[in-house]
Chain A
Amino acid sequence: MSIDIDTARRVAKLARIRVEEDALPALASEFNAVLGFIEQLSEVDVEGVEPMTSVTPMRLKRRKDGVTDGEMQEKILANAPDAREGFFAVPKVVE
């Protein structure tokens, strides 16, 4: 599997990381190095093997479906780059 510049551009877009056009060839070549390394996995026979979902065999704990936390609007907004009138403020999303 080889990654071309279009794929590198698409992945950067999916990851929401701006990569300038002139940096794409180097990025594609780095991807290829990492993916070439990962490629070794194709030689492993995994017929009938379950993909791991939990490394320790544990049942997830259950609790009553109820509100256990909340009422901390100020704390939640304390670190926001832009908070106004009790909300996170962002650039206009809908025209």
Chain B
Amino acid sequence: MMAAVPANYGLLLAAALFILGLAGVLVRRNVIFILLSIEIMVNASGLAFVVGGSRWRQPDGQLMFIFILAMAAVEVSLGLALVLQLYHHLKSLDIDRASSMRG
């Protein structure tokens, strides 16, 4: 690992991105922004896997990222279908208006 990057900094970047995504989920009230923030968090955790795989020079981290990618694709397609459904029902993207369940 000559001029290469220490794994600490990669993990630090992943943590920073994850915290930013978490702050986005907590702060924003728009459903689309919440989905975007969840994407940021998923991506940051995948970055942590790749950093680990690069640290030990094994392909396992990249494999985990591929699985995370498949999971993120499914999550986004279902989440956006739910967003369309929500907008269809509530005529709004405010997550607080969807605070009550109907049996």
* A and B physically associate: no
A interface residues (Cβ-Cβ under 8 A, vs B) = none
B interface residues (Cβ-Cβ under 8 A, vs A) = none
